[in-house]
Amino acid sequence: MAVYKFTLNDEYSHKLEQMAKKDGVSVQDCIRNRLFNLTTIYTPVEAVKRAMNKYEKDDCFTLPEVYGDEWTIQRGVAGAFGKQFFNYISDECSDKIQYVGMTNYGRHAQYKIM
């Protein structure tokens, strides 16, 4: 796997961080998505939107439940997405969605609509 490095001044670094925050993804994913014009439904922003539309106050859910039949991502990638979602809701919308704990079999984080 190739690694590329580049330097940004403070202004562009801040802009890039804001772009990633708006997209609800990491800076690395933001660069990759925008550089290669990639679109995906697996972003924290999209997951929050889907959860808020699908569930009501006090309902609990996991990310695979939010996506239903569209949940087709591989296990390792799904784990990375789950971590991004957890960080996003913790930082950006803890008043709407909160982490509850792990499901019985310990593979999926469970969340609750507030």
What are the start-end ranges of the E strands in the chain?
60-61, 97-102, 109-113
The yes-or-no verdict on residue 10 having pLDDT over 90 is yes
* Cα three-residue angle 22-43-34, rounded to 5 degrees: 60
pLDDT for res 107: 84
Average pLDDT, the chain: 92
Domain ranges across the chain? 8-39, 43-113
Give the pTM: 0.80
| Residue 32 neighbours by CB under 8 Å, 6+ apart | 38
pLDDT for res 1: 82
Percentage of the chain lying above the pLDDT 90 cut:
71
pLDDT-based confidence at 77, cuts 50/70/90?
Answer: confident
pLDDT for res 22: 84
